[in-house]
Amino acid sequence: MGVHEVNHTITRMVDSAMSAHSASDEVREQLLTLASRSFASATDLDSDAAAQLERAVAGCVRLGVSLDTTLSIVIGAMELVISIETPPTADSVLRAVRAATEIVARVYKQARSNERVDEGRAVAAALLRGDSAKILGHCSHIGVADSYTILAMRLPPLRGRHREGPPTATEPVAPRMHFEVRRRFGPSALTLLADNGATILIPDTAPNDYAALAAFNDCLATADGTVPTALTMHALTTDLPAVAEQVHAALDLATRLGMTGRLYRFSDIAVEYQLTRPGPGRDALSTVLDPLEEHPDLLATLRCYIDSGLDRRRTARRLHLHPNSVDYRLKRILRLTGYDSTDPTGLWNLRSALVIRDHHTEYTALGA
């Protein structure tokens, strides 16, 4: 079979596939490209040829060509090689067909996975906007639950994934997160990514106890051992918009306060969260540390003392001071503020004032 006959046969094969799908001229051109790439790679499917074939298959996916049609074109074009005057060995064609089939299967599988992710993202966004769960249930293949566990996460920079198989710790967190969400919580769990984090909605029918959520968060650790910071809270579907906003505000506060690298319940930071809400209590506590404004060394000592678990010797080591110097500074804080850092009530007021101060400082720095 000569070149002209091969081209004619490929054209007839594509036109036959077209007649069954009433496709457009763009689809016809894409199928012709696919057939040509397949024919050319039947004898030597090296890395360059495989990449060209993969791009042609991806083009078919983009245009909505069915998997059956794509496979028939690829295999049919490769079989034509056997009809030429000096055909290759059957083994070489068989190897090429097997490799090409794997490429087609991988591209279509990834496309289907992306469709599920996109659909889940759309449903999650709708629920977080407060759209009717009943309408969503009719419009989507994803069932809408009566309630969800909200998991707000702070993630490293998000990038795409470029290989098959289960993701590993050496890969970016986002693609591993999609994989683990499906594996651990099922197809009804919804994920919505943002620039620096994610919102995951886990239905009440899936495992959603703290241990399961903490294990999920820990499995997303990066290769250097960095664990994402996350915060969780349960909510009825109708309350998702308001509760999700609270959860993300609490997660933001936890991050500002240095509470990172693990999963927190909302109750773990409820006091700090409430302290940062507008009201007379916050206004009163916000002035407690005003006398220390001109004494940054005292503020630093108070912060270090609290972060060191109220251990004066550890505080001294961290600040490169003698323990007696730490005692002296704590007494000065008492004289200036009226609150004793060694007394439970005084310590609570001082720590609360620090939380409010840190929140206000960060909030102002962000230009809010």
- φ, ψ dihedrals at 181, nearest 5°: -60, -45
- φ, ψ dihedrals at 320, nearest 5°: 60, 45
Q: Worst-scoring range by mean pLDDT, 81-85, 130-134, 135-139?
A: 135-139
pLDDT for the residue 366: 41
Over residues 337-351, the mean pLDDT reads 88
Q: Taking the model in full, what pTM does it have?
A: 0.58
Nearest to 326 by CA among 342, 315, 339, 340: 315
* Residues 252, 260 contacting (CB under 8 angstroms): no
145-267 adopts what CATH topology? Alpha-Beta Plaits (3.30.70)
Largest CA distance in the chain: 101
pLDDT for the residue 273: 84
Predicted confidence (pLDDT) per residue in 49-69, tens digit:
888 888 888 888 887 788 888
- pLDDT(77) > 70: yes
Over residues 254-281, the mean pLDDT reads 83
pLDDT for the residue 61: 80
**What confidence tier does 114 reach under pLDDT thresholds 50, 70, 90?**
low
Q: Cα 173–179–184 angle (5° rounding)?
A: 115
Predicted confidence (pLDDT) per residue in 271-285, tens digit:
888 877 777 777 777
Predicted confidence (pLDDT) per residue in 27-36, tens digit:
888 888 888 8
* More confident of the two residues 211 and 4: 211
**What confidence tier does 140 reach under pLDDT thresholds 50, 70, 90?**
low
Averaged pLDDT of the chain: 81
* Residues 261, 154 contacting (CB under 8 angstroms): no
Over residues 194-199, the mean pLDDT reads 82
Predicted confidence (pLDDT) per residue in 219-232, tens digit:
888 777 888 899 99
CATH 3.20.20.140 at 280-365, yes or no: no
pLDDT for the residue 137: 54
**CA torsion sign, 80 to 85 to 88 to 90?**
positive
